[in-house]
Amino acid sequence: MIVLGIETSCDETACALYSSERGLIGDRVLTQAIHAEYGGVVPELASRDHVRHLLPMVDGLLRDSGVAREDIGGVAYTAGPGLLGALLVGSAFGAGLAFALGVSAIEVHHMEGHVLAPMLDDASIKPPFVALLVSGGHTMLVAVPEIGRYEVLGESLDDAVGEVFDKVAKQMGLGYPGGAALAKLAESGRAPTHAGAQAGVPPFPRPMTDRPGLEFSFSGLKTRAMQILRQVEAGESPEQGRADVARALQEAMVDTLVIKCVRALEQVGMRNVVVAGGVGANLYLRERLSATLEQRGGRAYFPRQAFCTDNAAMIAYAGWLRLNAGQGALVSSFAARARWPLDQLSPLA
C-alpha cells in the first residue's frame, strides 16, 4: 500500500509518499518565507500559502516519483494539533482526494508523527522508550510503552525550548526563526565562568532541576539571558558577548533537558530516549544526550536533520502504520483540531 501524507499544521507545507514495499518514496517540504518579516507566524497568511502550494506540490511529487494517483491506497493528513485554519487546508484537500479515489483517510496527530520520525531511517527503534519533544511550540516528556500509547510525564509550564532560542536569537539580531543561527553562534562562545565579564558570562541557572518532577519552566532563563545580553551588548565586545550568551544559554537549556530525560527514564524504568521536534537538530543536545545515555547503558535516537522540523514523511509513516493496522475509514466528514491531547490516541492494535 502507498500512503500519501499531508502536513499543513503551521508554516510548512509538506507532502510525502510512504510504501509498504519501498519505504519512503519521496517527500517535499516548503517552508513559508512570508512570516519572517512579521517576526512570527501569521496564521491567516500561513493558511493562504498552504492552499496556494499544496496541490502543485502533491502533483509534482506524484509525477517525479512515478506514482499514479490510482496507486495511492490511503491518505494521511495532520488533523492537529496546530493552527486551525492551516490544518483545515490539509484536511479538506486530503479528505477530498481520498473521497475521489475511494480510499481510506486517516487523521494523524502531529506529535505522534514527530515521535515516530526516527523510525523512518532506523526500523530497529522499538518501544518502550521515553520521547522528548522539543520544538518552538512544545517541550514535553512522554512515556511510550507501545506505539499509539503516550503518557505525558511532564511539559513546559511556560515557554517552549525552541521559543526561547528563537526569541533570544531575535533579540541578538539573528532573524526569525533564529534558533539554528544561535546554536551556530554558540560555537564561538567562551565557556561560562564565575570569574566575571572578562572571561565570558556567568553560567545560567538550570530551572526546576533542584526539585523533583518532570515539568519545565524556561521563561526565567529567557529573562536572565535577555538581561545578560543587554549588559554585554553595552560592553566593550558585544560580538563576543553575544556568542558567550548563546553558549551559556544553550548549555543551560540542554543540561536541563538531559537531567530531566534521565529522571524520566528512572521514573518509568526505561533505557532509551527518542528525540523529536525542531530542537532535535541541535548538535550539542545530540552529543550530550547520547553520551549521557550511553553511560547508563541506553541510547538516544534522533531523526535525520531534515525530519526534525515539520515534514510529511513522518505523517505518511504514522498514517501508514495506522492504516496497516486497519484504522482509518472511507471519508464522509473531516476535522481539524487546534488542541488534541497526545494521550487521547488509541494504540495500534
Partner 1 sequence: MKILALDTSTEACSAALLMDGYVIEEFALTPREHTQMILPMVQHVLSQGGVALHQLDGIAFARGPGAFTGLRIAAGVTQGLALGANLPVMPVSSLAALAHGVWRVHGAEKILTALDARMHEVYWGAWHVLGEGNVQAEDAGECVLAPASAQVPHTADWFAAGSGWSAYADTLLPRFAAVLRAVDHELLPRAHDVALIAAHQVMQHGWLPAAQAQPMYLRDNVADKPKPKVAVRP
Cα dihedral: 63, 64, 69, 75 (round 10): -130
DSSP letter, residue 236? S
Angle at 279 between CA 276 and CA 281, to 5 degrees: 85
* Closest approach of partner 1 to the CB of residue 168, in Å: 17
* Residue showing cell 503516550: 150
Q: What is d(CA 24, CA 47) in angstroms, rounded to the nearest whole number?
A: 27
Nearer to partner 1, 42 or 268 (CB): 42
* Closest approach of partner 1 to the CB of residue 15, in Å: 11
Per-residue cell: 98: 481520498
For residue 215, the one-letter residue type is: E
Nearer to partner 1, 75 or 132 (CB): 75
151: how many CB neighbours lie within 10 A of its CB?
13
Selected range binding partner 1 among 82-90, 148-156, 188-196, 215-223, rule: CB under 8 A: 82-90
Per CB under 8 A, the list member of 291, 335, 338, 341 interacting with partner 1 is: 335
Nearer to partner 1, 116 or 331 (CB): 331
Per CB under 8 A, the list member of 31, 71, 73, 92 interacting with partner 1 is: 92
Per CB under 8 A, the list member of 97, 108, 142, 229 interacting with partner 1 is: 97
- End-to-end, the C-alpha distance of the chain in Å comes to 18
Q: Which residue, among 162, 155, 207, 206, has the nearest Cα to 183 in the 3D structure?
A: 162
Selected range binding partner 1 among 14-22, 89-97, 161-169, 186-194, rule: CB under 8 A: 89-97
Per CB under 8 A, the list member of 88, 201, 221, 262 interacting with partner 1 is: 88
- Binders of partner 1 among residues 208 to 267 (CB under 8 A) are none
* Closest approach of partner 1 to the CB of residue 281, in Å: 27
* Closest approach of partner 1 to the CB of residue 257, in Å: 31
Q: What is d(CA 170, CA 320) in angstroms, rounded to the nearest whole number?
A: 38
Per CB under 8 A, the list member of 67, 76, 101, 141 interacting with partner 1 is: 101
On whether the CB atoms of residues 284 and 247 are closer than 8 A, the answer is no
Quick note: the x/- pattern for partner 1 over 20-49, rule CB under 8 A, is -----------------xxx--x-xx-xx-
Three-state DSSP class for residue 7: strand
Per-residue cell: 176: 526569525
Q: What is d(CA 195, CA 100) in angstroms, rounded to the nearest whole number?
A: 68
338 contacts partner 1 (rule: CB under 8 A): no
Per-residue cell: 158: 511556560
1 contacts partner 1 (rule: CB under 8 A): no
64 contacts partner 1 (rule: CB under 8 A): no
Nearer to partner 1, 81 or 298 (CB): 81
Q: 218 — phi, psi (to 5°)?
A: -115, 0
On whether the CB atoms of residues 122 and 309 are closer than 8 A, the answer is no
Per CB under 8 A, the list member of 13, 32, 91, 282 interacting with partner 1 is: 91
On whether the CB atoms of residues 322 and 79 are closer than 8 A, the answer is no
93 contacts partner 1 (rule: CB under 8 A): yes
308 contacts partner 1 (rule: CB under 8 A): no
* Residue showing cell 493558511: 47
Nearer to partner 1, 111 or 336 (CB): 336
Plot region of 291 (φ>0 → left; ψ -120 to 50 → alpha; else → beta): alpha
Per CB under 8 A, the list member of 16, 275, 279, 336 interacting with partner 1 is: 336
Residues of this chain that bind partner 1 (CB under 8 A): 37-39, 42, 44-45, 47-48, 51-52, 54-56, 58-59, 69, 84-85, 88-101, 331-336
